[in-house]
Structure 1
């Protein structure tokens, strides 16, 4: 049975991990309140990076809630995702969404990424 943990191997940790995704991201899944940027990473597994700006979610409680929901969705879909580096970026108004709506929107955009990035993988 596959593991659904979110270990360090599944995270973008350093600025040098994030930079290639920001500079050249052929795959994008955009929503009114957030965006996923992604690019192939040449590894065996997908990795996730989170950029939840204080400008878009003022309170730490809100930022932590958003990050938790994104990590949960990523863990659930990690075995369907091709080996990509994925960065989640927030936009204004994301703090107004309730958990259920945000979770559904995140999952919908992850499915779009699977479709886009999976089509180009060998």
Structure 2
């Protein structure tokens, strides 16, 4: 199995990010927020985009660390994911930046995404 983070697994264009944000489906974790949009039937692979703003993490080193952690967790779990476009963004400022907490939060969001959702309205 290929273990790289190739270009075909990334969201690269502004339009791709905009369409995912415009779809308005999101799951919120402790630190991260996962926006998602199902891909058309012809596509079978998940893609990832990352947004980590300066407002929450001032140092570029910290922003890059968060992106590296999320990319690695995505790479390891990509084969099991449904065909969706994902945009991960930092929702809360982590007090001390903890690698394990960021990784665990992203994995929990992926688990929520894969779980079938129950109808709340009792149908």
- Asked whether the two chains share a fold, i.e. TM above 0.5, the reply is yes
The question of 1:34 aligning with 2:38 is answered: no
SS at match of 2:88: strand
Between the aligned partners of 2:116 and 2:33, the Cα distance in structure 1 is 14
SS at match of 1:106: helix
Unaligned runs of 5+ in 1: 118-122
SS at match of 2:115: helix
- Larger Cα-atom Rg: 2
Structure with a larger share of its residues in helix? 1
What are the Cα deviations for residues 82-117 of structure 1, in whole angstroms up to 9, with x where unaligned?
000000011231363311121111111111112248
Q: Is the 8 A contact 1:52 1:90 kept in 2?
A: yes
SS at match of 2:4: coil
Q: How do residues 1-122 of structure 1 correspond to structure 2 at under 5 angstroms?
A: 2-26=1-25, 28-42=26-40, 43-94=43-94, 96-116=96-116
The two structures have a TM-score, normalised by structure 2, of 0.86
Query: Structure 1 residues 58 and 116 mapped into 2: Cα distance closer, same or farther (>3 Å)?
Result: farther
Query: What value does the CA root-mean-square deviation take over the aligned residues?
Result: 1.6
The two structures have a TM-score, normalised by structure 1, of 0.87
Query: Structure 1 residues 59 and 8 mapped into 2: Cα distance closer, same or farther (>3 Å)?
Result: same
Between the aligned partners of 1:8 and 1:116, the Cα distance in structure 2 is 29
Q: Is the 8 A contact 2:70 2:106 kept in 1?
A: yes
Q: Is the 8 A contact 2:46 2:84 kept in 1?
A: yes
